[in-house]
Amino acid sequence: MAKYLYVLLCLAITFGTGYSLKCYHCNSEKMDGCAKGEKPAEQPCGNPTPNHSQFCYYKVAYDTVRKINFANSSCIDVPAGSQLDKSSVPDCKNPPANVEIKECRVCATDLCNSASVFSSSQKLVYTKGRSFVVSHGGQTHPTDAAEDVSV
């Protein structure tokens, strides 16, 4: 009987720690500073607090006082049952007065929160059957000749 209790105890210790979501953790003053090519740090989120879930987030914003763009990504602990969208990130839902949110994404798979291939500083422009990547340095410039599609 003691042998079975020992085996159960070992299994409980081994599997009781559970799965932990892993997110990129990055703070950058470059629009694409949290891209995979920049090698952001990988961060295990740990176990969520009781009645909470964990998501990864990626945010790009503009500080109107300091006049800089910045990006950050990390884990976020949210109440259980929260929607998988930007309303789960307090700074995206209600940013400080001096911050304009350019992009805010939330996801729930390992390492899903790096800057996208076409980040907010780039647009994919379609015109007459051709596509071009146009870098705007973080600024959006509407054009009459083409449809500007954010990716």
Return the CATH number at 76: 2.10.60.10
Domain count, the chain: 2
Amino acid in position 51? N
Q: How confident is the model at residue 130 (pLDDT cuts 50, 70, 90)?
A: very low
Q: Are residue 106 and residue 133 in the same domain, yes or no?
A: no
Q: Are residues 87 and 127 in the same domain?
A: no
Q: What residues make up the domain containing 140?
A: 121-151
Tell me: pLDDT of 142 over 80.
Answer: no
Question: What is the helix (H) or strand (E) element at residue 147, kind and residue range?
Answer: strand 147-149
Measured CA to CA, the distance from residue 72 to residue 50 in angstroms comes to: 26
Q: Could you tell me if 51 and 92 lie in one domain? A: yes
Which pLDDT score, from 0 to 100, does residue 33 have? 86
pLDDT in tens, 76-107: 999 999 999 989 999 899 999 999 999 999 99
* Tens-digit pLDDT profile for residues 53-78: 999 999 999 999 999 999 999 999 99
What distance lies between CA 150 and its chain's CA centroid?
17
Both 33 and 89 in one domain: the answer is yes
Q: What is the pLDDT of residues 2-61, one digit of tens each?
A: 554 343 333 333 444 567 999 999 999 988 889 988 899 999 999 999 999 999 999 999
